[in-house]
Amino acid sequence: MRGRGGPARRCRNGAGYQGRDTCQDPRPGEAGQSRPASAQVARRSASRHCGTVPDLATLLPPPVLFFALGFFAGAVRSDLSVPDALARALSLYLMVAIGLKGGVALATPGAAEGLWGALAGGVLLSLLLPLPAFLALRAATRLDRATAAAVAGHYGSVSVVTFAAAAGILQARGVAYEGFMPAVLAAMETPAILTALLLARAGAPAGQRVPTRRLLREVLLNGSVVLLLGSFAIGWLGGANAKAQLSVFTEGLFPGALCLFLLEMGLVAIRQLRAAGRGLQPALIGFGVLMPLFGAAGGLTAGTLAGLSPGGLGLMTVLGASASYIAVPAAMRLALPEADAGTYVTLSVAVTFPFNVVLGIPAYLWIAGAV
Amino acid sequence: MHARKRIEIVVEAVRAEQVTDLLDRLGAPGWTMLPVTAGRGRQGLRRGGDPAGVFDNVLILCIASDAVTDRILAAREELLGARPAIVSVTACEVLRGEHF
């Protein structure tokens, strides 16, 4: 059954979606669950969140556990390391897989319904989120203008791997989402950078400003955006044929690659925390935890207004909550060299990313009704 | 053997292109870029490998004549605007002077 022109909605535990936010009683043995069709089950099924409180395996899926493993290994100073080239290759793979899957899904007739609303919501979110972030940082911390603007830009942009982790959970749970969400992800990468630069403009000496052409190239043509949108276009053009050819690559390998990349991110997070964490003001750490919640609320609002399915709404919430740690740091280093890179890299990699991966994603998906 | 000058510039990877563009513009015959694994200086320990490459440094090596070297050093404001961590010049000798 399709709801509101979007992908077929699913309830937790594989139960069928009956519309109006209700789920049918899971049949005995379905999705590994076996329960009597009692009145209690019917009442629980009528609620937006079908089924019981998530179990531990749901709250801590393998990718999250691998992140924790990397964090632990770094904390105890194990010599475990992931080669830089492999980490960057995994990052490339994740972007290709996400883009391809999204493009293939969008090639399905009717799958583009709601695309423009979601895109508009995402771009607006990316443009506007740096404003409250900047004001909060200037009011509550001792950050200079350039660093505050650079940090704010990170929280308006998005994290591909946070999105990948959330998408992986939805995939494992059999929850569908709109195929165009990777395009929304790509569209949300760069507007926040422009907002951050506008906020910092008064603080940048004219002589040190990066030539506009180079900066525009970095902002608009950065690798993440090109790869995401390019893979998306290739998937859309290829459609069902591309899916048939590449499903082993884009779906079979995805969970394992995500686990490896999150292992590396755990190592990076603890390394960054050790290198710059002691210098972080408590207010900044608080910002790194609270700003994702504010961003999540913004994502939830934007996704609701765009009429997304629960899965799509969950991903939009995750996008609002995430902070960039690839595209934006590089752009900020180029455009705002006086901003303290240690602050914004540490916040996004060592505070917000772990918070989102371990605690945020399950909460965001649950609030959106996706799990 | 022919006397030349060896210029070594340690700079952030994100700004390396600014430095190489400057060298090209001022007539440097060429340059070599090497990755830097880690280093320590006035701002503490710096180790690359972060996802964005923000903390990656590179070492740009350029061998040039005295005249080109003087031009490069005269453009110190633009050179330092790229925020290199280290700029050093040493005397060296090369086998094929016509290439430098």
Give the nearest partner residue to B15 out of A84, A334, A345, using CB atoms. Answer: A334
Whether residues B54 and A345 touch (CB distance < 8 A) is answered with yes
- Asked if pLDDT for residue A10 goes beyond 90, the answer is no
CB atoms within 10 A of CB B53: 18
* pLDDT band (50, 70, 90) for residue B46: confident
Residue A216, CA distances (Å) to A144, A166, A232, B13, B55 in order: 24, 30, 22, 18, 21
Residue A12 pLDDT: 45
- Asked if pLDDT for residue A192 goes beyond 60, the answer is yes
SS3 for B56? coil
Give me the helices (H) in chain A, please. 39-46, 56-59, 62-75, 84-106, 115-128, 130-140, 145-156, 160-173, 181-187, 191-200, 212-220, 223-247, 254-276, 282-305, 310-321, 327-335, 341-346, 353-355, 361-367
Residues in B touching A84 (Cβ below 8 Å): 48-49
% of chain B with per-residue pLDDT over 90: 57
Q: What are the tens digits of pLDDT across the range A273-294?
A: 888 766 788 999 999 999 999 9
Residue A115, CA distances (Å) to A79, A102, A317 in order: 46, 12, 16
What single DSSP character describes residue A25? P
* pLDDT band (50, 70, 90) for residue B15: confident
Q: What are the tens digits of pLDDT across the range A82-139?
A: 998 898 899 999 999 999 988 998 888 888 888 999 999 999 999 999 999 999 999 9
- Asked if pLDDT for residue A41 goes beyond 60, the answer is no
Burial of A287 (0-12, 13-18, 19+ CB in 10 A): buried
Whether residues A337 and B55 touch (CB distance < 8 A) is answered with no
- Asked if pLDDT for residue A33 goes beyond 70, the answer is no
- B52 part of contact set with chain A, CB < 8 Å: yes
For residues B24 and A32, the model is more confident at B24
Residue A15 pLDDT: 43
Residue B60 pLDDT: 96
Q: Kindly report the nearest CA distance between residue B15 and chain A, in angstroms.
A: 7
Residue A340 phi/psi, 5-degree rounding, is -80, 105
Mutate to test the interface with A, among B21, B43, B54 (most CBs of A within 10 A): B54
Whether residues B54 and A91 touch (CB distance < 8 A) is answered with no
- B76 part of contact set with chain A, CB < 8 Å: no
Contacts of A188 (CB under 8 A, 6+ apart): A122, A123, A125, A126, A157, A158, A319
For residues A46 and B33, the model is more confident at B33
Strand-strand pairing, B38-41 and B84-94 = unpaired
* Residue of chain A minimizing CA distance to B21: A214
The arithmetic mean of pLDDT across residues B46-59, rounded, is 84
Residue A275 pLDDT: 80
Tokens of A202: 């008064």
Whether residues B51 and A268 touch (CB distance < 8 A) is answered with yes
- Among A10-19, A135-144, A323-332, top mean pLDDT goes to A135-144
Residues in A touching B12 (Cβ below 8 Å): 333
Whether residues B54 and A208 touch (CB distance < 8 A) is answered with no
Residue A203 pLDDT: 53
Q: Kindly report the nearest CA distance between residue A340 and chain B, in angstroms.
A: 11
Residue A52, CA distances (Å) to A137, A146, A202, A306 in order: 39, 47, 53, 28
Residues in B touching A207 (Cβ below 8 Å): 77, 81
DSSP string spanning A193-221? HHHHHHHHGGGS-GGGPPPHHHHHHHHHS
Residue A279 pLDDT: 73
The arithmetic mean of pLDDT across residues B3-29, rounded, is 93
Q: Kindly report the nearest CA distance between residue A84 and chain B, in angstroms.
A: 6
- A339 part of contact set with chain B, CB < 8 Å: no
Residues in A touching B81 (Cβ below 8 Å): 207-208
Residue B62 pLDDT: 97
How high is the ipTM of this complex? 0.79
The arithmetic mean of pLDDT across residues A307-335, rounded, is 92
For residues A44 and A305, the model is more confident at A305
CB atoms within 10 A of CB A13: 19
Average predicted confidence (pLDDT) for chain A: 82
% of chain A with per-residue pLDDT over 70: 80
The arithmetic mean of pLDDT across residues B15-33, rounded, is 93
Whether residues B81 and A326 touch (CB distance < 8 A) is answered with no
How far is it, in rounded angstroms, from Cα B10 to Cα B65? 20
- Asked if pLDDT for residue A8 goes beyond 90, the answer is no
Q: What are the tens digits of pLDDT across the range A204-218?
A: 555 555 556 767 777
- A349 part of contact set with chain B, CB < 8 Å: yes
- Asked if pLDDT for residue A18 goes beyond 60, the answer is no
Residue A81, CA distances (Å) to A161, A257, A266 in order: 19, 16, 10
* pLDDT band (50, 70, 90) for residue A24: very low
